[in-house]
Chain A
Amino acid sequence: MIFNGDTETGETSTNCEMLTKEQASEVFESVRKLSSADEIEVQFSGGRFALTRFANNTIHQNVAEENQIISVRTVFDGKTARATTNKFDDESLRQVVRSSESLAKVQHPDPDLLPMPGPQEAGEMAGNGVGSTPPRHFEETAAITPEIRAEGVRKIVGVADRHKLTTAGVFSSAESLEGIFNSRGLSRWHTQTSAEISITMLADDSSGWQKANSPDVRNLNPLKLAEIATQKAMESARPRDVPAGKYTVILEPAAVLDIIGFMFWDYAGMAILDQRSFLTGRIGTKLFGENITIWDDVTHPLQTGCPFDGEGVRRQRVGLVENGIVKRIVFARATAERMKRSEYKDSVGPIEATGHGFSLPNEIGEMPMNIVFAPVTDPQTVEQMIASTERGILVTRLWYIREVEPFEKILTGMTRDGTFLVENGRAVSGVRNFRFNESLIHMLSNVEAMSTPVRSSGEESFDMVAPAMKVKEFNFTEVTKF
């Protein structure tokens, strides 16, 4: 049994060591014995996280935490509910089971609730096209110390000092676990590490930004990121005031993923059933340009994350968009069964549980979150895109993106930290930042060129394997003051 420690005496040895699958299995068996429910599911999550934050060329915040969570879902007569705690002592486990059971018993029966999946169902659901998930836990990342992070920051600050710039950013590291066990014999376990560096370089009237993350810290190069952010800050100095309007834009991968990420909530069976998806009535139609092909693929070598969903079902590789045609959406188990009985059953592509469901109970259903753009046959680098552009705008990063109109998928937001005017094949100067109001459908129908997809990270959406894009007629509606 894992204890948090006896707080009255302080004598019990504390334990925030990372749970192993075997320890979690023991906890599950204990919890299972405490419950009288028809079915029980226990999830585990948590781990260690540390982040060193710098600004004004100094480390100003530096934090570390350890936490592990146990979450219990019980089922009585088609009624289910969940209770969660981060306390693992016997009384807390009894209490979390009681909470889950008492909440479940007063629910209304859910006619769509399915029996929990056994190991065979959860595994077989994934069979089609799923490869093995590459290792995502690296000892080098798990072993990162505050001193190692400080050394990385010292290098970044050194670049800023050398160029008389001010820098701000983070260097973080984490080791995490996710596990799920249920009373039908299913057990799933996933551990991974992650490291992330994000850098902003600030000059008097300009800025530049870079960000990268990886399960393996050896893939991160703080000096290189700092140099690129520096170059962007220096070359965008003295920004010109260019009027708003429709421009050819070159969106770097972080800008692409931050805006594109807003549409994947709609690639879900539940979103169709709820009539809140912009894909309602559009699945099977050519919505985007011929050059757009998008997969959800947790097994991709540049992806990260857990290979099973909130019920423990293995995630399938799903082709969402093929040559501009919306082909498939994803389904949790119950959503798939509902869809088979619905008026939409013949218009949403293949219907089967794809392993993309959120933990039950929830009202959202499912979502693809391991997005991978397919490479194009004629990739262009950002430099090549600039060279082929007579007049346009190069965008490093987007900010504060929100949905303005849900069916045409019009989004608004700002450019930030490195926005350039491109003229006659060259980035000639920085420009004041723009506000855009742009339809995602319009944008993905106007992609003139793409780079090779890379692992990318922004701030508005989840990480993806995404390309840079050259897009014509991108709609900037206003200009801000810097």
Chain B
Amino acid sequence: MKYIANWALNTAETRGATYADIRVVAQRSRALTTKNGKVGSASDAESVGMSVRVLADGVWGFAASAALGRGAVEKTAAEAVAIAKASARVKRENVRLAPETPAVAEWSTPYKIDPFSVSVEQNLDLLMKIDAELRAVEGITLAETNLNFSREEQWFVSSEGADIHQTKISTGAGYAAYAFAGNEIQKRSYPNSFGGQWQNKGYELIEELKLLENARRIAEEAVALHKADQCPEGRFDLILDSSQLGLQIHESVGHPIELDRVLGMEANFAGTSFLTLDKLNHLRYGSDLVNVVADARQEHGPGLGTFGFDDEGVAAQCTPIISDGLFTGYLSSRETAHTVGLNRSGGTSRAEGWNRLPMIRMTNISLLPGKNPLSLEQLITSTEHAILMQTNRSWSIDDKRYNFQFGTEIGWEIKNGKRVRMLKNPSYSGITTEFWNAMDAVCSRDEWTLWGTPNCGKGQPQQVMGTGHGASPARFRGVSVGSAFKGS
């Protein structure tokens, strides 16, 4: 691929670029689904192409093409420079890149079993067994299962001398059981909703998830929800399971700490952020128990935000975001680092594929587990009266990331340390900082899971990115519960 990079770099430089980077990307994916005893979709896809990002006249230009011949590559590089020069017609100041020592490196996702090496027959057999188990429960009216694998190989070369070859593998799996009766549709998913669990690892993930072993229970819960009481409305103590807490972190910590949002770059679509620059190292984001990091390093775990280098060639890092409740860090890129006094990017710039511009994206934004041993069952035992909510069903938050509302698939009322009844249609809402300041207990490492969110949308044109969120169950005092059904 070196010659492709050289064609592009030479053209960009000749046309007047002061900086250029080239990404050549080859992506492969496989998606298998079933629905009610039939294969729903079976598809393989590959996409190969290259992009050129340049600075010329002090501003960015970007062009991408699926064509990899010399003429196309040079044309694409020339177009990137021309676009930058057009951008300069409406310019306020030159882009300032934080310095970065050019890396020459190879990096790959560690995995035990290549997911593409497992036969389609074996995969469909697993999904069909799950499907049968779900539909064996009377009252289940719709069963859906899915398996997803992807492989992305990227060559990153920059005019500064970076030369990085990186391969990432990801695996996802899950299922959902629906029960329609009367005027109600209830649903349970495993191991998480919206496609299940996703991680940057191989087929070994499928074996770890114990998919088939949990199918019967999940289906029975979906049916049982029809006989459950409606979740009450009012202020309650709230316990969130780790998957729902993962999404809470994503929406109310992960997005507001994106520095491009803070600086207004996303104002037209994804929105801005309440975390204005004056709040760094001053805002009490949460209680003393709240410790959040943005960690893209392999030692954090196989999250969808785990990599060797970001798409600007910056090595994976761990940034403290909330330290003992204090807001201490943003997600930054080479372009934005200087705005918060950093002399190096936080390494969070990623692109969906070869045809998209890298932008600040969450890596693995994780709530660190409690230091003292505490299981979910022990947390429940120590709780006088609360609602336990599990598995996301709906999620919404305003464009500055203050007001949120989440619904979950199932809830349980906790009284005097015991689950006393199942609750249907649970929901809760609040204001981000008030919510995190109400956290008074968090379970320990043995309850901690690094969840994958495969569908995070941002940018124009919109890019869908996978992010990771580690969490163990936690308790929050005095949260508004049930407002989703208020007045209906």
Contacts and interface: CB of A to CB of B under 8 A. Distances in A.
Contacts of B282: none
Contact of B67 (A16, A99, A145, A207): A16
A55 B264 contact: yes
Contact of A276 (B7, B178, B263): B178
B66 A4 contact: yes
A15 interface: yes
Interface stretch (A5-13, A118-126, A370-378): A5-13
Interface in B387-405: 393-400, 402-403, 405
Contacts of A12: 69
Contacts of A168: 264-268
Interface in B430-488: 431, 460-461, 483-488
Interface string B62-89: 1111111111110100011011101111
A66 B407 contact: no
Contact of B60 (A62, A66, A108): A62
Contacts of B399: 399-400, 414, 416-417
Given A5-B67, A202-B264, A414 B4 contact: no
B396 A402 contact: yes
Given A14-B72, A65-B63, A66-B64, A407 B91 contact: no
Contacts of B265: 55-56, 60-61, 168
A83 B487 contact: no
Interface in B164-206: 178, 180, 183-185
Given A5-B71, A172-B461, A198 B484 contact: no
Given A7-B69, A85-B46, A86-B46, A275 B142 contact: yes
A291 interface: no
Contacts of B44: 81-84, 99-100, 103
A58 B264 CA distance: 11
Interface stretch (B117-125, B292-300, B376-384): B117-125
A81 B267 CA distance: 41
B431 A481 contact: yes
Interface string A449-475: 000000000010000000000000001
A307 interface: no
B70 A478 contact: no
B480 to A, nearest CB: 8
B67 A15 contact: yes
B488 A407 contact: no
Contacts of B274: 481
B49 A67 contact: yes
Nearest to A403: B394
A275 B182 CA distance: 11
Contact of A363 (B33, B73, B431): B33
A7 B68 contact: yes
A179 B124 CA distance: 30
Contacts of B75: 14
The listed residue with most B CB atoms (<10 A of its CB), out of A14, A166, A280, A481, is A14
A280 B180 contact: yes
B90 A150 contact: yes
A408 B268 contact: no
Contacts of B342: none
Contact of B487 (A14, A112, A437, A479): A437
A406 B142 CA distance: 14
A391 B431 CA distance: 27
A204 interface: no
A246 B119 contact: no
B321 interface: no
A149 interface: yes
Nearest to A4: B67
Given A10-B7, A274-B142, A363 B41 contact: yes
B488 A399 contact: no
A144 to B, nearest CB: 11
B86 A362 contact: no
B31 to A, nearest CB: 10
A99 B69 CA distance: 25
A482 B34 CA distance: 44
Contacts of A433: 398, 403
B461 A83 contact: no
A169 interface: yes
Contact of A146 (B39, B71, B73, B87): B87
B126 interface: no
Given A81-B43, A363-B41, A413-B396, A154 B89 contact: yes
A176 interface: no
Interface in A154-188: 154, 157, 166, 168-170, 172
B277 to A, nearest CB: 14
Contact of B43 (A103, A414, A479): A103
Contact of A16 (B72, B128, B394): B72
Interface string A347-372: 00000000000000111000000000
A147 B87 CA distance: 8
A34 interface: no
B278 to A, nearest CB: 15
The listed residue with most A CB atoms (<10 A of its CB), out of B34, B41, B402, is B41
Contacts of A438: 488
A402 B92 contact: no
B40 A363 contact: yes
A199 interface: yes
Contacts of A50: 83
Contact of B86 (A146, A399, A402): A146
Contact of B90 (A99, A154, A407): A154
19 contacts: A4-B67, A10-B70, A11-B70, A14-B75, A55-B265, A56-B265, A58-B90, A59-B90, A61-B357, A61-B460, A62-B60, A62-B62, A64-B63, A83-B43, A170-B269, A276-B180, A402-B396, A414-B403, A416-B271
Interface of B: 3-4, 7, 33-36, 38-49, 51, 59-73, 75, 79-80, 82-84, 86-93, 119-121, 124, 128, 141-142, 144, 178, 180, 183-185, 263-269, 271, 274, 355-357, 359, 393-400, 402-403, 405, 407, 425, 427, 429, 431, 460-461, 483-488
Question: Which 4 A-B residue pairings sit nearest by Cβ, starting from the closest?
Answer: A5-B69, A10-B70, A14-B72, A363-B40
